[in-house]
């Protein structure tokens, strides 16, 4: 590690651990490269958490499979009781009896009850009553899960794929930018930037908090270029691209904002490795003035960069 970085004051561990594992502790999508072992195999909270956070396709598919499985179980129960205890117009073939049992179960579970099939015996009525109760509880649970998914505030911030080392006020600056991909309003947006370095002697990681030119903005209707000025006080002052690569540098980003729609605080995170830092380049403008005088922002240009002078290298 460069002697300049050895003299740099080190901040507390961010919570990722000091042991060096993969080259990055935080993936581009904000997930962590940390695997926790020894946890209980089943916890009710984890089940709720997975149902709330999984993708919509998987969630709806799981609900559909649960609906089919529940009806199949009760259909077999009705077949076991005997379809002669039901008033129906279907035949006595197994396929016809199974079909009637399944659709009677679906009508009972959803409390639709078309009336084409009705239970007559005590046991058939008891099982139908039990299924009706289960249907009310399961649909209440599904409604709660749907509400939880819709009401959970989620950040939809997109970060630039690359960070740049560009000229900034007579020095250089480490820069990345981000944009809100939703039409909702975010206010009081705060950014935190930390530098993670691997010590080759001990194979442990060190963490340095990098001060920002502007750590907070009050309004976020367009894009935001976050800048760490590399002046004489910066931990990156005098450091080269090769030095960052040798130290397996990782720039960890945490964004905190207040979602005006849900009136809740949201978070987003990402990281940039040394290979994802473009030296001697700057971002191209995203905002333009439209014909009607409105400011127009081209989100497709978030990753647009242009080369300047050759990058400073070892």
Domain boundaries, the chain: 44-151, 155-307
0.85 cut: is pTM over it? no
Which tens digit of pLDDT belongs to each residue from 40-91? 776 766 788 888 888 889 999 999 999 999 999 999 999 888 888 888 777 7
Which pairing describes strands 287-289 and 295-297: parallel, antiparallel, or unpaired? antiparallel
257: exposed, middle or buried (Cβ count in 10 Å: 0-12, 13-18, 19+): buried
Question: CATH for 155-307, among 2.40.170.20, 2.60.40.1400, 3.20.20.70, 3.40.50.410?
Answer: 2.60.40.1400
DSSP assignment, residue 202? T
Can you tell me the distance from the alpha carbon of 18 to that of 15, in angstroms, rounded to the nearest whole number? Answer: 8
In the three-class reduction of DSSP (H, G, I as helix; E, B as strand; rest coil), residue 276 is classed as helix
> May I ask the CATH class of domain 44-151?
mainly alpha
In the three-class reduction of DSSP (H, G, I as helix; E, B as strand; rest coil), residue 168 is classed as strand
Give pLDDT, residue 314: 42
SS3 annotation, 205-262 = EEEEEECCCCCEEEECCCEEEEEEEECCCCCCCCCCHHHHHHCCCEEEEEEEEEECCC
Q: Is the pLDDT of residue 126 over 70?
A: yes
Which tens digit of pLDDT belongs to each residue from 5-27? 544 555 556 666 666 555 677 88
Beta bridge partners of 166: 173
């Amino acid at each position: 590690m460069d002697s300049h970085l050895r003299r740099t004051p080190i901040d507390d561990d961010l919570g990722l651990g000091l042991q060096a594992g993969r080259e990055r502790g935080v993936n581009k999508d904000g997930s962590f490269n940390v695997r926790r072992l020894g946890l209980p195999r089943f916890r009710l909270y984890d089940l709720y958490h997975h149902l709330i956070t999984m993708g919509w396709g998987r969630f709806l598919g799981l609900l559909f499979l649960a609906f089919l499985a529940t009806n199949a179980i009760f259909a077999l129960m009705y077949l076991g009781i005997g379809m002669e205890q039901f008033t129906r117009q279907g035949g006595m073939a197994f396929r016809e009896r199974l079909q009637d049992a399944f659709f009677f179960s679906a009508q009972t579970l959803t409390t639709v009850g078309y009336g084409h099939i009705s239970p007559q015996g005590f046991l058939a009525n008891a099982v139908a009553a039990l299924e009706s109760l289960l249907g009310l509880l399961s649909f209440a649970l599904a409604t709660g899960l749907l509400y939880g998914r819709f009401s959970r505030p989620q950040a939809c911030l997109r970060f630039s794929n690359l960070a740049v080392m560009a000229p900034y006020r007579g020095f250089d600056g480490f820069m990345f930018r981000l944009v809100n991909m939703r039409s909702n309003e975010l206010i009081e947006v705060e950014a935190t930037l930390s530098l993670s370095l691997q010590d080759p002697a001990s194979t442990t990681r060190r963490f340095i908090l990098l001060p920002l030119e502007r750590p907070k903005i009050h309004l976020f209707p367009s894009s935001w270029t976050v800048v760490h000025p590399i002046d004489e006080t910066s931990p990156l002052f005098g450091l080269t691209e090769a030095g960052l690569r040798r130290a397996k540098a990782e720039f960890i980003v945490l964004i905190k904002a207040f979602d005006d729609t849900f009136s809740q605080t949201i978070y987003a995170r990402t990281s940039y490795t040394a290979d994802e830092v473009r030296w001697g380049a700057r971002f191209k403008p995203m905002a333009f003035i439209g014909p009607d005088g409105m400011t127009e922002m081209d989100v497709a240009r978030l990753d647009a960069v242009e080369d300047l002078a050759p990058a400073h290298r070892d």
